[in-house]
Amino acid sequence: MSSFLLRRAFGATFVLLAVVGAACAGPSKPRPDRSFQPPATVSFAATMARPAMDPEVELELLARHKTTPALLRSAWLFLQLDNPRAAIDATAEVLYGPVQPSANDEAFARYLRAEAYQRSGFAERAEWDRQQAATLANDPELRQRLASLTRSTSTVAPAALATELVVQPRSAWSARAVDKSNVNAMQGIRRITIHHSAMYFRDTRPNTCAAQIQKIQREHMSGRGYGDIGYHFLIDPSGRIWEGRDLRYQGAHADGDNNKNNVGICLLGNFMRGRNGQSPSQAQVRAMRLLTATLMAKHNVGPDEIYQHSDFKATDCPGVVMEPIVDQMVRDLNRQGVSAMVEAAGQ
């Protein structure tokens, strides 16, 4: 066979194999758009714009970016694809990640998480996040959207506030059983005292926070002989509120008879100046103000019954950095009242 005929035969065979190979490979996946630019801001227009491409392709492109605008855009796209679990995970990276979100970013994260919770069947959690988003939102379109979904926080009766407060139960940190022979009944709540754990702590991961609370309980029960952890509530750097000692039992946090009718709230961290000190996170302060106001509304506690541990004994607790923050909270309560404190919590 001549070289010319050999070349023609080889060429035909190559074309045939290429066609067969393409047919066997099936439909090709859209190639990533190298010109893609992730959103640079968090706004209704940027976060919830109609997709200009297949949502799954956009999610693949967004996965390369861990910025807050990209995470919130991803959460919205997951909702469009009816994947609320993934949307919750994306918003959690914004709410509890290493970078403290701005009020605007938190508002969008909570709105999107509320939508995801609603679709997952957690109506109470959804309502809570919507309330928080409505308090924080400054984007006009988001505020308009929330107004159609959420009751105005100014119309919420103080007695109803406690049902909207999200508190991690004792089971979430695997608490040891209370020694009922070594605790006293609370017999009413008339005052609230703020503490710090006096241990440097900045971690926001739920498992690590739970382990820190377990450590405090071990020290209180095994080291000090208490019947349970001494505090009724603890607040981690992400702003999560954790249930400590059951409110049915008097705490062990303010020394002797000072514990009577006294709710103990402890913020995790060492709020002193110097090398081993730190400041409370904005999320912790917001959660403290909201929890305090909620307890006040439910139990009819006045601003003059809000204390710091140092009011009862010579101690640095809750830390020189924390003391003026608590003082300001009390001034705000006296000036604005409990309902206004709840409305303003998180701003």
34-38, 203-207, 338-342: least confidently modelled range:
338-342
pLDDT in tens, 278-287: 999 999 999 9
Q: Which two tokens stand for residue 163?
A: 């049902």
Tell me which architecture the domain covering 164-344 has in CATH.
3-Layer(aba) Sandwich (3.40)
The confidence score (pLDDT) of residue 169 equals 92
pLDDT value of residue 340? 67
Q: How confident is the model at residue 34 (pLDDT cuts 50, 70, 90)?
A: low
CB 63 within 8 A of CB 100: no
Look at 13-27, 160-174, 177-191 and tell me which has the smallest mean pLDDT. Answer: 13-27
Position 252 scores a pLDDT of 95
Q: How far apart are CA 291 and CA 103, in angstroms?
A: 19
Q: Is the pLDDT of residue 40 over 70?
A: yes
Question: How far, in Å, CA of 4 to CA of 17, rounded?
Answer: 20
pLDDT over 70 percentage in the chain? 83
pLDDT at position 203 over 80: yes
Q: How far apart are CA 144 and CA 149, in angstroms?
A: 9
Residue 208 confidence (pLDDT): 95
Domain limits, the chain: 44-150, 164-344
| pTM reported for the whole predicted model | 0.55
Q: What is the three-state SS of 293-309?
A: HHHHHHHCCCHHHEEEH
Lowest mean pLDDT among 11-25, 187-201, 223-237: 11-25
119 pLDDT band (50/70/90 cuts)? confident
Confidence of residue 25 (pLDDT cuts 50, 70, 90): very low
Q: DSSP 3-state assignment of 267?
A: strand
Sign of torsion, CA 138 144 150 151?
A: positive
On whether the 44-150 domain is CATH 1.10.3470, my answer is no
Determine the average pLDDT of the residues in 132-152: 80
- Closest residue by Cα to residue 244 from 159, 162, 167, 161: 167
